[in-house]
Amino acid sequence: MAAAAVSAEALPLVPQDEYELVGRLYPESAWMFVWGRRLLRDMVGGGVSRFLVGRRGPGCWSVLHTDSAWVAVRCADDVLPALPTHAVACDSAREAVAYAAAGMMVDAGVSIDSHLLWDLGFIEPARAPSSVPLVWKPTERARRLDSSSRDDGRARYETDGFALERLRGRPARFGVLSPGPAPDGGLFLNRHEFFTSLSHSRLPGDFAVSSGEKLLENTLLEGYGSPNVPYLFSMRTPFERQGLPQTASGHDWHIYLTQRPLWTFPGFPVEETTVPAVGAIEAKGPSTGGQGYLFRDLVSSLLRSGEIIEVSRWEGTRLLKEGRARR
């Protein structure tokens, strides 16, 4: 089903526990919310804090769950308690996350440029009969989005967008499109529809789909940087598979030991990378090896509860040698 508007009265009670909602994602990827936040960090920076799961807040976008649907909700700015002003029910968590993420990009005024349009397949460089340089040409995908952008029956957030005709036949080089109302003629891309399409392309499909598995006690795990994330990795997982910027030398490396069996969802915060290994001159193919584990709580919370402890590199090596820990 397509996203459908819902009334505030039909919304579920909040708060909902985010990590219980992770358990309801199956048969979708348990890493859906992790990937959604990574996408938003790339697109809106610190604005990612306005993306909530299972909660509502002033000026925030939320993803909630009912018995029959996932819901994307926008709340009014500076109003307490949080007042929903826009809400749609979706048939999948991926659709709800994409809808909410697109709304946040619209709110943040994220620009659309020709290279982004090309990357997503809405325009392509072509050689016109009377033109020596390559020029931009809209694709069939752009025509399909134009049709949905002009469909008044579709639920969407905001109605402005971009007249793609401004690029048609122009030299195939970088350019930024300014938003505006839908023109009477020519291809038009609604901003929210476009960013929803972008978000769908950056969210996991069947990657890391799992109903969960038990991670045994006395397992050594590693992680870089802050423990305020809900995942860790098997020892010696390639750094570029851990979804962090820069290189490993720019982050503190931590080793943890599980103190009891923990329910986890295997996967990674990124699907594949082409970041070269340390010391490599040329980029190599996607890194392989290692395993990520998504928990139902933040690592910092697991440390406070004693379900995992941090150990030194020396201690971890000793435990392995004595057979008291496993990788």
What digits encode the pLDDT tens for the residues 275-318?
A: 555 555 555 566 778 999 999 999 999 999 999 999 999 999 99
In the predicted model, what is the mean pLDDT of the chain?
A: 90
Signed CA dihedral, 100, 106, 107, 113: sign only: positive
Burial of 319 from C-beta contacts in 10 A (0-12 / 13-18 / 19+): middle
| Confidence (pLDDT) at 73 | 97
| Confidence (pLDDT) at 185 | 83
What is the mean pLDDT of the segment spanning 143-163?
86
pTM over 0.85? The answer is yes
What is the mean pLDDT of the segment spanning 256-276?
86
Length of the chain: 327
3-state SS, residue 319: helix
Confidence class for position 1, pLDDT limits 50, 70, 90: very low
E strand residue ranges, the chain:
4-5, 51-53, 61-65, 70-75, 84-90, 112-113, 123-126, 135-138, 161-163, 176-177, 188-190, 213-215, 220-224, 231-234, 253-258, 262-267, 292-294, 308-311
pLDDT reading at 38 higher than 60 = yes
What is the mean pLDDT of the segment spanning 233-252?
90
**Domain boundaries of the chain, sorted by first residue:** 4-108, 112-189, 213-321
Q: Is the peptide bond before 183 cis (omega within 30 degrees of 0)?
A: no
The residues that bridge with 171 in the sheet, in sequence order, are: 135
The residues that bridge with 219 in the sheet, in sequence order, are: 326
CB 252 within 8 A of CB 239: no
3-state SS, residue 32: helix
**Could you please report the per-residue DSSP string of 159-219?**
--EEEGGGTBTSBSS--EEPPBPPPSSS-EEEHHHHHHHHHHHHS-SSTTB-S-EEEPTTB
Rounded Cα gap, residues 242 and 239, in angstroms: 5
Confidence class for position 217, pLDDT limits 50, 70, 90: very high
The torsion angles phi and psi of 29, rounded to 5 degrees, stand at -65, 130
What is the mean pLDDT of the segment spanning 206-227?
93
pLDDT reading at 215 higher than 70 = yes
| Residue pLDDT, tens place only, 91-133 | 999 999 999 999 999 999 999 999 999 999 999 998 876 656 8
| Confidence (pLDDT) at 2 | 64
CA 137 to chain centre: 29
133-153 CB burial, b ≥16 within 10 A, e <16: eebbbbbeebeebbeebeeee
What is the mean pLDDT of the segment spanning 146-158?
83
3-state SS, residue 136: strand
Residue with tokens 């020709």: 114
What is the mean pLDDT of the segment spanning 17-42?
95
66-102 CB burial, b ≥16 within 10 A, e <16: eeebbbbbbbeeeeeebebebbbbbeebbbbbbbbbb
What is the mean pLDDT of the segment spanning 244-256?
91
Is 101 or 179 the better-scoring residue by pLDDT?
A: 101
| Confidence (pLDDT) at 15 | 96
CB 265 within 8 A of CB 30: yes
Residue with tokens 């929903």: 84
What is the mean pLDDT of the segment spanning 144-149?
88
Confidence class for position 60, pLDDT limits 50, 70, 90: very high
What is the mean pLDDT of the segment spanning 159-168?
88
What is the mean pLDDT of the segment spanning 43-55?
96
